[in-house]
Amino acid sequence: MTTDQDLAELGQQFRVDAVRATSHAASGHATSSMSAADLMAVLLARHLRYDFDWPDHPGNDHLILSKGHASPLLYAAYKAAGAITDEELMTFRASGSRLEGHPTPRLPWVDVATGSLGQGLPVGVGIALAGRRLDPMPYRVWVLCGDSELAEGSNWEAFEHAGFEQLSNLTLVVDVNRLGQRGPTRHQWDLDAYARRADAFGWHTVEVDGHDPAAIDAAYIEAAGVTDRPTVVLAHTQKGRGVSAVQDREGMHGKPVPDTDEAIAELGGVRDLRIEVERPAATTAPRQAHGVHADLPRWSKGEKVATRNAYGEALAAVGADRGDVVALDGEVSDSTRSEFFAKQHPDRFFECYIAEQELVATAVGMQVRGWTPFASTFAAFLTRAHDFIRMAAVSRASLSLAGSHAGVAIGEDGPSQMGLEDLAMFRSVHGSTVLYPCDGNQTAKLVAAMADGGGIRYLRTSRGGSPVIYGPDEEFPVGGSKLLRSSDEDRLTVVAAGVTVHEALTAADRLAADGIRVRVLDLYSVKPVDAHALLEAAEATGCLLTVEDHRPEGGIGDAVLDAFTDGRPVPRLIRLAVETMPGSASPEEQLRDAGIDAAAIVAAVRRQLDEPTVA
């Protein structure tokens, strides 16, 4: 591919293949692929360094198609690079095909799923940051995005992050085709409008005719030459470029062209150009050496420790043991206690400031490079990153998230700071693990387990101190539970986790003093739940009372049912959860007002067992 004419031909091939694939599938985004075809052609033929036979090559560049709906363009490029056949290209969007409507890592060359706009750049920042701060590697990160998605605030979190970190190994290519799904974008072809914004955020900017291969090539060369900041290439393009029936026309988004044969003819017919993508230089594998073995922190029974503190200490210890563990925080590390990690491993700690989407995206990017990230902020504020967490699951990402300040138990700060919906959010994430410890030793063991696991793993921690009830050598397998009170006369089982475990123990002891025996189960693994223990408790006691510092919907009360939805008999159920809108109050008052403290448990048990309350 030496001449610019060759590049133009390759761009036309990409267009033809996008037209063919979408027409064959009778759905898909032809016009969005066509606008970016030349940008992709020049990238693939002259700039990308990638070994398609070795997708895990540590020196490979990373290419993220943030405008994931333009997947036909990506797949056309894979075909030209020899990674897939034309036959496979024609399986686009068919059942069973790995060429999905939007790219996912079912394809070995796709780092992360895209299709929810405004995520490619934030994740790209994480990959680029790993290549600079974790393991200096010569790879470059290329993100190709649309103009519409620049309205997403997540992109500006990423612009800020990348600009501040001076990530010159990151190039964002914006396909400014003027038209969104529904009509014109705010700035249409005002490339200067985007350039002013990016420049203000500390980026180098280049404006270019996105259908002029020579100009695009020059822009990419210019980007490579900038050493102190990331570069954005703003490319003026036409949606549906090359096919007059759709070119720069509204109402042509997300569908095949109206006349396939005519379009292919207008584009100069089917081609079969192949390109040899330049492979990366031989390079050493990333570091990620394991460190000195460090023991987990240990607490004695009866000591008081907040689970957020235990998280911070355990994470620091795991970080000493494993060089692949990195920690990220959203400017609240003194609250989440990830500061303990930061102090011991400053080179593997990343401050993402108050930008939770970018926090999670950076973590997703780092796990693309093989790192084991733990990202933390308040549980409440992880809701900011819900779409990124959802998409991380589609990306088959391996990621640990920790949310502190769970529930009303935080006390005076009030509802804006209380994580009351986080269990519902994380339980619904595909393949997730949801853990909610109640003491220091349990927390430490779960943190260690999280570093080993796959998928999206969530740990919920509490602000206030609570007594240590487990010995430091006890084990807490994911999917397990702990029976804390049990007798042959148990008439009901109280199922609790986190702060309510302590309330449940107090309640059980009070009830026992009155001769009423109840079982207490610590359901620290909210997903998966310990079905065996729950079935046993149901059989033995016939009634489960769940008590949780969370909204009634989607939390522990619902999780318990995961053990009973296969048609078997279901025990009686009582759900105590936060049904009020809290205000300010002390932690104890909050638990009382929400009806999830020991007194509320005692009352609910007595009501259920029809035992009169002792005056």
Which residues are the active-site residues?
Answer: 356
Report 424-453 residues binding a copy of itself (CB under 8 A). Answer: 424-425, 427-431
- State how far the alpha carbon of 81 is from the alpha carbons of 40, 48, 84, 275, 394, in Å: 12, 11, 8, 5, 25
Amino acid identity, residue 87? Answer: E
The residue from 28, 59, 286, 440 that contacts a copy of itself (CB under 8 A) is 28
Pairing mode of beta strands 465-467, 304-306: antiparallel
Contact range with a copy of itself by CB under 8 A, out of 39-47, 179-187, 291-299, 469-477: 179-187
Rule CB under 8 A: say whether 266 interacts with a copy of itself. no
Beta bridge pairs of residue 141 = 62, 170
Nearer to a copy of itself among residue 213 and residue 582 (C-beta): 582
Question: 499: helix, coil or strand?
Answer: helix
Nearer to a copy of itself among residue 216 and residue 234 (C-beta): 234
Taking the complex as a whole, the smallest distance from the CB of residue 491 to a copy of itself amounts, in Å, to: 12
Taking the complex as a whole, the smallest distance from the CB of residue 68 to a copy of itself amounts, in Å, to: 6
What distance in Å separates the CA atoms of residue 247 and residue 235, rounded to the nearest whole number? Answer: 16
Cβ atoms within 10 Å, residue 518? 27
Contact range with a copy of itself by CB under 8 A, out of 89-97, 220-228, 286-294, 499-507: 89-97
Rule CB under 8 A: say whether 390 interacts with a copy of itself. yes
Rule CB under 8 A: say whether 572 interacts with a copy of itself. yes
Compose the 59-78 pattern: x for residues touching a copy of itself by CB under 8 A, - for all others: ---------x----------
Pairing mode of beta strands 325-329, 349-351: parallel
Cα within 13 Å of Cα(272), Cβ side: 5
Total length of the chain:
615
Contact range with a copy of itself by CB under 8 A, out of 283-291, 312-320, 414-422, 472-480: 414-422
Rule CB under 8 A: say whether 153 interacts with a copy of itself. yes
Compose the 450-489 pattern: x for residues touching a copy of itself by CB under 8 A, - for all others: ----------------------------------------
- State how far the alpha carbon of 382 is from the alpha carbons of 151, 426, 559, in Å: 21, 10, 20
User: What DSSP line would sit under 216-257, residue for residue?
Assistant: HHHHHHHHHH--SS-EEEEEE--TTTT-TTTTT-TT-TTS--
Taking the complex as a whole, the smallest distance from the CB of residue 566 to a copy of itself amounts, in Å, to: 7
Contact range with a copy of itself by CB under 8 A, out of 127-135, 153-161, 257-265, 511-519: 153-161
The residue from 111, 217, 358, 530 that contacts a copy of itself (CB under 8 A) is 358
Rule CB under 8 A: say whether 36 interacts with a copy of itself. no
Rule CB under 8 A: say whether 102 interacts with a copy of itself. yes
# residues near a copy of itself by CB under 8 A: 117
Contact range with a copy of itself by CB under 8 A, out of 213-221, 285-293, 473-481, 575-583: 575-583
Residue 409 corresponds to which tokens in the numbers above?
Answer: 């138990």
What distance in Å separates the CA atoms of residue 326 and residue 373, rounded to the nearest whole number? Answer: 5
Rule CB under 8 A: say whether 553 interacts with a copy of itself. yes
Taking the complex as a whole, the smallest distance from the CB of residue 267 to a copy of itself amounts, in Å, to: 24
Integer-rounded Cα Rg, in Å, for the chain is: 27
Nearer to a copy of itself among residue 182 and residue 301 (C-beta): 182
Compose the 498-517 pattern: x for residues touching a copy of itself by CB under 8 A, - for all others: --------------------
What distance in Å separates the CA atoms of residue 15 and residue 211, rounded to the nearest whole number? Answer: 12
- State how far the alpha carbon of 442 is from the alpha carbons of 41, 166, 476, 477, 498, in Å: 53, 40, 7, 10, 10
Which class for 290: exposed (0-12), middle (13-18), buried (19 or more C-beta within 10 A)?
exposed
Report 514-533 residues binding a copy of itself (CB under 8 A). Answer: 527
Nearer to a copy of itself among residue 252 and residue 520 (C-beta): 252
Rule CB under 8 A: say whether 197 interacts with a copy of itself. yes
Rule CB under 8 A: say whether 611 interacts with a copy of itself. no
* Residue 222, Ramachandran bin (φ over 0: left; ψ between -120 and 50: alpha; else beta): alpha
Rule CB under 8 A: say whether 344 interacts with a copy of itself. no
Do residues 93 and 71 make contact, with C-beta atoms less than 8 angstroms apart?
no
What distance in Å separates the CA atoms of residue 566 and residue 55, rounded to the nearest whole number? Answer: 41
Nearer to a copy of itself among residue 142 and residue 349 (C-beta): 349
Task: State the DSSP H helix or E strand holding residue 572, giving kind and residue range, or none if neither.
Answer: strand 572-576
Contact range with a copy of itself by CB under 8 A, out of 79-87, 113-121, 514-522, 595-603: 113-121
Do residues 230 and 167 make contact, with C-beta atoms less than 8 angstroms apart?
yes
Do residues 43 and 62 make contact, with C-beta atoms less than 8 angstroms apart?
no
Taking the complex as a whole, the smallest distance from the CB of residue 455 to a copy of itself amounts, in Å, to: 11
Rule CB under 8 A: say whether 25 interacts with a copy of itself. yes
The residue from 185, 309, 404, 541 that contacts a copy of itself (CB under 8 A) is 185
Nearer to a copy of itself among residue 183 and residue 477 (C-beta): 183
CB within 8 A of 536, min separation 6: which ones? none
The residue from 2, 227, 284, 565 that contacts a copy of itself (CB under 8 A) is 565
